[in-house]
Amino acid sequence: MDREIFVNQLIRWYSHQKRDLPWRRTNDPYKIWLSEIILQQTRVNQGMPYYLNFVEKYPTVNDLAEAQEQEVLRLWQGLGYYSRARNLHSCAKMVVGEYDGQFPNKFEELLKLKGIGRYTAAAIASMAFNQVNAVVDGNVYRVLSRVFGLFDDIAETKSAKVFEKLANELIPKDQPGEFNQAIMDFGAIQCTPKSPACAICPLSDSCCAFNKGEIEQLPVKTKKVKVKKLFFNYIIFEYNGELLLHERIGNGIWKGLYQFHLEETLKRSSEESVLNSLNSPDRFTLIDVSEEVKHVLTHRQIFARFFRLRVNELNTFANIQKELNLKAYSLEQIQELPKPILIENYLKKAFY
C-alpha cells in the first residue's frame, strides 16, 4: 500500500469514527498519562470509571503525589495489575519532585519516569506536546502487519523495532497525535483481532492481508505462556464483629493489598486438611466454607475458597494475631482497605 494514501485514509476515517473519550478533549499531559496507565491491559469501558474517579479525587499530578499509597490502591481496586497503581503514584512523585510538577515534553525524558515505557512516552509526547513519536501497541501491530503484509513474529523483541521503525516513518509531522489516536482506534474498532470489518474498511482495496486471504494469520504471534493453577484457601478468623487481615508484602501479585490468612497449595485440598493445618483447630467453630471461585489472571488461574471461623475466646483471638502476623479490623475499617477484587467480592456477598 502507498504510505501517503494509508495515512490520509486513516486520518479521514478517524475524523468520522473516533470515539468521544474525555482524555481526547485535552492536551493536559497528566490526564493523558493517567488514561494511558489505566488502559494498559484494560478495556476502555472498564477503565473509564476509574479514570473519572482518579481525575475527580486527584485533579492534578500534585494532588496524586501527595496521596497515601493505600488511598491510591483503594481507588485502583478491581482494575488488577496493581504494580501499575504503585508505579502511577511513584511517577507522580517524580514529576513533582524532579520536574517541578510539569511532565517533561520529550520522549527520552518521559522514558525516565517510573512506569512509563516506549508506548506511553510516545502517546504523551505526541498527544500533549505534538512531538513526532509513533505509538506501537497491540492495535498498531495488528493494523500494520495486515495492511503491509508483515509476518514478523510480534512475540519476539526484535520485531518491535521493525514495527516502530515503520510507524515512525508513517507518522505525519503536522499531526502526530491525531495519527497515533487514529491508528489505535482503527485497531480497536475496525481492524479487530477477530471478525474485523473488512467489508466496510476504507483500506481493504490495498490491504495485503485482505487481498491475499491472510487476515486470520496476521499478526504472527507464536509465543505461548503456560498458565499456572493455584489453590487459595483463605481463613477468616472472626471474633465479636472483627476479622483478621494482613497486608501482602514481597514482589508477588497484589503487593500492598490486604487479605485474610492464606493457605496456598498447588493442588485442591480437602476441607478437613485445610482446617487441620491450623494449630489446635478446636479453638475455632466453623461457620461456613464458600463455594470455590475461579479468578483468572494473565498467567495464573486461582481457585479460591473462604473458610469462615468463629474464634471461641478473646485470648485465642489475640494469640492468632501474634502467631500469624494478622491484625483485627472492623467491617467499616475493612471497607476502606485496598483489597484484591476476589476478596472484595466475597466480603460483599458474606458481610456487607
The catalytic site residues sit at: 36
Q: What backbone phi and psi angles, to 5 degrees, belong to 16?
A: -100, -30
Residues in the chain: 352
Here the contacts of 68-76 (C-beta below 8 Å, separation 24 or greater) are 69/256, 70/256, 70/337, 70/338, 73/256, 73/257, 73/338, 74/336, 74/337, 74/338, 75/50, 76/50, 76/338
CA angle, corner 37, sides to 340 and 136, nearest 5? Answer: 130
Handedness of CA 208, 214, 216, 221 (dihedral sign): negative
Among candidate residues 133, 134, 180, the one with its CA nearest the CA of residue 18: 180
Do the beta carbons of residue 234 and residue 261 sit within 8 Å? yes
Among candidate residues 126, 120, 118, 68, the one with its CA nearest the CA of residue 93: 68
297: how many CB neighbours lie within 10 A of its CB? 15
CA pair distance 216, 282, nearest whole angstrom: 60
